Every structure is written in C-alpha cells, then in structure tokens.
Chain A
Amino acid sequence: MTRFILTRIASAIPTLILVSIAVFGLLRFIPGDPAALMLGDLAKPGQVEAMRIQMGLDKPVVAQYLIWVGNALTGDFGKSISTGQDVLPLILNAFSVSASIVLLGVLIAALIAVPAGMLAAWRQNSPGDVGVIAVSTILLSIPSFWLGLMLLLVFGLHLGWLPVIGYVPFSQGFWPALVYIVLPVTTLVLSEAGPIARMARASTIEVARLEYITHARAKGLSEPAVMWRHAFKNAFAPTLTLIGFVLGSLLGGIAVIETVFTLPGLGRLLVDAIYARDYPVVQGTMLFVAAIYVVVNLIVDLLYPFLDPRVAA
C-alpha cells in the first residue's frame, strides 16, 4: 500500500509538469501585459517596457520557465507582481479560507444528498422520490452566484440575521468564524447537493435490483438495514467518484461564491491574478491546485477498494 501511494504520487509528477508548462505557455500567449495593467492609462511609452524589464518579462519564455521551476524547487514561488507579497503564504492563506468552506459544504451536501438520493431510489416513483428529484433538479438549475445573492438579500438584508460580507478565520474563535461562513457554505451545499443526490439515486436504482438485495430482504432485514448495509457500499462507489471530483475542483477555489461573499479564497486569488496577469501568482496557484487535485484523487482511489473489494487498489 505504501508503495502504491508512492507510485501514485510519483505518477502525479508528470501531470504537475504538464500543468505548469501549459499554464506558463498559455499565460504568455494570451494578450495582456502585467506591466501595462499596472500602469493603466497613465502609462507613457517606454515606461511599460521598463516595467517589463523590472519584472523579468523580457527574457525568453523558456528561460523564464526554467528560472521559475528552479526557484519553485527550492520552495520559492516568487513574489506577486501586483502586490509584491510572497506567493506561497498568499496561496496558503487563501487556501485555508476556501478549504474550510468547501470541506464543510461538500460534507454537509453529501450527508444530505446521498441519503436523500438513496431513499428516493429505494422508493422509486413514490411522492418522496418525486420530491427529491424535483428539489435536486431545481437546485441543479439555479446558478450558484444567483443563489448566493438571493441568500444574501434575504438573510443578510431583509432579515439581518447574518453578516453580509467578510471572513474571520477559525483561529479567531469558532462561533464568529461560523457566523461568517454560514451563507457561503449554505450556497455550496444547495448547489452541490443536486448532482450528488441524482448520482446517488441513479446508482442505487442500479444496485437495488440485484439479487443479493432480494436475498438480504429474505433474511428479514428491515428496508433501512438492507439499504444501509447492502446497497450503500455498492451504490456509493460512483457517487464517491463524483464527490471526489467535486471536492477536487472546488478546493481549487470557488471563485463565484468567494466573489459574492467576498471571501479571500483561492478561487478569487486565481481569478484576480489571471485578470491582473500576475504571472507568479497564477503559476503558483495553478501548481498548488493541481497538487490538491492529485491528492484528492489519490484519496478517492484509496477508498475505492473498501467500497468494492473486487477492484484491487
């Protein structure tokens, strides 16, 4: 198993290299110039050029890449072009924000959606099933930024129950932090619960018709027991893939939700950096996001054999 983990991590290295090259190349390929953005309409000819030299952007792209990789290997991801801050702490701070919301949100979404989807499948075509389908489909069709704004309007403005903006890290106390992330987490829960519930329902329907389920019933097990002990593990595998995917992509930043609720998360960091053509930040963040993605997938792969012993890890 340890070997498996090590090989998996080793096999992620080419992925990371691929990502870094693609990001590096694409960034320099798309129009837009960090120096120009910094100067805006105040720029005078020559000033942009001077700024580029100062930023080290005048060197050939390959040389820039090698310099960057070399520094990155020593843990130096450079400094942000627009704010001059070190990239790594910038990323880690932003990640802690995104991660606490995403983990909480996806966890709650899964805890609600997976049982709901499975229950719906179990009572296929019952009113409960129709209800779950309807709710999950409706949730699925609501844009999350819109949902977030609505929540903001209702709970933040009309009712005034919750703060509208800002973020307090958990290190500054549990309750204050909680108050600030209730709305973003709720938005995330609502927008992620739809697909998860549908996936759980579909795969449970597949499993529910298998012979061993009938056999479990023949043992006199109650329906919840049949479902929990026999259907769950088998039906959960595809859902786990989906959850893994959702986690992997969300941990890389929930730009929209972060923007609506003004959370200083990874997604916003990345989007802002892309718009500002803040190359070091984009590159560092991308590498980080790719690494997160690899780790989440590794965990999913490690969990898989527990759900389906026939699939050897």
Chain B
Amino acid sequence: ACGGGGSESTVGDDGGGGGGSNGVVKIGGIFDETGATGDVGAPYADGARSYVEYINSQGGIDGVNIELISEDYAYDISRAQQIYQSLRDRHDVSAIIGWGTGDTEALRSQIIADQIPYFSGSLSENLKDTGSESGFNYLVAASYSDQGRAVLEWIRENHEGDFPVTLALVYEKGNPFSESPMQDIKDYAAEQMDGEIEIVNDILIELSDNDPLTTLQAYERNQGQPDYAITQYTWGQTRNVVRDAHNLEWNTQFIGLNWAGGEGIVPSGADNQQWVEALDGFMATITHAFPYEDLPGMEPILQYLESKGRSIEDDDVNQKFVQGWVTMSIFGEAIRIALEDYSPDEIDGVVMKEAIEQIDDLDLGGLAANVSFSPDNHAGTDRLRLGQLRDGQWEIIQDYFGISDYQ
C-alpha cells in the first residue's frame, strides 16, 4: 500500500489460530453487526470469520495464515471511515471485506488511492467499473442489476398467460442500496422486452415506512395491480410490503433481489404462522446456497461448525453466513495465487489485485456460482438461482442461470 504506514510500531497481534504457519496475510473487515442491517450483517461477518478460522486451523494457505482484522461499524459511515484508516495505517491490510452500500461508496475513492482491493456485501452495478471510479472494487456475485435483468428473462420464459405482462419496481428513491438496480432494469426492459414485459409506474416505499398498506392501496387505485413486482429491500421491509399486498389480496408475484432471499425473511418463533401465510409464494434471487443444501462446498463448513460445537440448526448459520464464508474464500484463493509468485510479506494491495484478476472460473463447491475476474472484468459472475417460499421454507425453483445466457 502506498500509505507508507508499513513502518509504524502498532502491529496487530500476529497469527490467527493454527500452528506451523510461516507468515500471515492481513485482511481487513468492516462489518455491520449491530447497526441498521445487523440482521443480515451479523451472520455474514460470522461466516467470513469462520472461514478464516477454518483455513488457519487447516494449516493456512500453503502454510500461510490469514489474519482477519475486523470491526463492527454499526452502519455508521463515519465509524467505517475510522476503521478503514485503522486497517490501512495501523494494520496495513492487503485487502478488505466490507459490507453495505454506504461504506462501500464512501470508501470507493480512497481504496483506489490506497490501492486496497475491496469485496463488498453490496453488489451495486457501478462497482463493476474497472476504471478510476471504483477500480479496486470487485463483485463476488451477480450485481443487483444483473439479478434484476435475469429476473426479467426468467419471467419472459416462465410466465404462464398473456403478454405483455406488467411489472412494477418497489424501492426507496434516493436510497443508494434500494435504488441501485432500478434504472438498469428499466433500460433492459425497454431495450429487450418490448411488447413482452411492460414496466409500469414505480411503487415507492421508504425503508423506514412501517405501514406500506396505503401506498399500495393508492397504487392499486391509480394503476391496478401489476403482474409482477421486483423489490429491493432487506428482510424487514420486504416482509412488510409483501404482507400488506397479501392483505389487500393482490395477485402480484413479488420477487426480491439478493438480500430479500434467505431464512430471516420469515420471523423466527413458534407463532410465525401468520407470516408464513402472508409470505407464501414470495420469490427471491438466490446468489448463495442455504446451509441445509447437500453440496460439496458445505463439507468444510460442517466440519468447522462441528469443531466449534455448532450446527447448521443454529439460527445464526444461514444463507448470509454462507455468503460471508464464500466471499472470504475468494480472498483465500487470491492469496493462494499470490503465494505462487510472492512471499507472504510481499503481498500488498497491488499484489492482491493482480492475484484476484487471475482467478478464473473458481469452483466454489456449489455454494455460489463460479467466479472469474480479469483486469477488465471486476464482476465475478452474473449467475444466480431463484427460490420461492413455500410453507416458510425456501425452495429452489430455478438452477443457476445468468443474463449472459441470453445474449
């Protein structure tokens, strides 16, 4: 890194768990475990940490341990800024695993200046950019926009009934995360779906609006019910919107992107029958696997959990856990590549970037779609699955597919 902070006296406590290591590579983590998105952020952070513990307990990567130095920024962007400075200057990390749209955006310029590759939980299309604006960001799963485009393709192929179908976008205008894919989806529909999918007026509901009912009602009055609706919220608000549409007896098929998928959308507790009912039939894009799926990539996770006395029955081992684990494991792969040419202490941000960009069709054991990067491609994949809630459980109804299949 160019920060010049390598010589400082404050060095993090060295070495993670396992013995016999001959060096460490430091990765920084900026997670939200207690903030606004803590419900999904905490398992994600847990997954990322677990991967590191696991890999170190296996003797590291070619004998080199990963040290993950992470802090909870509680979705407070100024805190994220401080943590970033600490990771850069105090710990001199080679790469960072980040979280929300807010912190990722806020650090976008700095990581370029500091040359630190950054994997974010946020999958905004603009992070694909390989140029000067986000040149050190990488997308480890299909971008929100690609997810939305894929959903359009899926609807075109699977819709039973007449065309054109109507589709509404449900999001908060002005919210970086929520609004992120919407223009791209509209453009795609206009260019590719003419006469088949008609995007009708947006349904704008703020993330903090606890009572979307009237907005939906008003919408119905002016526009009628759409056939499909794509939402871009996290669990809580998706749930409220779908529930209220259910109460209004809408026949719309709601499809949530990325963060709407996953177990937590149905509130836990024995008394959740009302929610199970209201959410029945809800669909979401699934970028990462559920822990209960029988996949080769689950082996290490199960092994790790067992070593810790935990199991996938635990509430906190869920799809977001897998997502954190997988994201971190891509760094693991990059380190492996880097170690072919460099010694551990030579691995800085630039080397990491070089290594990441050599990743080619990395098999993630079914936990997620294979990823590839190159200097002019920072989007690891465009592939995803679709899941549907039936009786409170997610069922995969469409195996991996991606927007590139259609071009």
Q: Do A and B come from one complex?
A: no
Residues of B within 8 A of A (CB): none
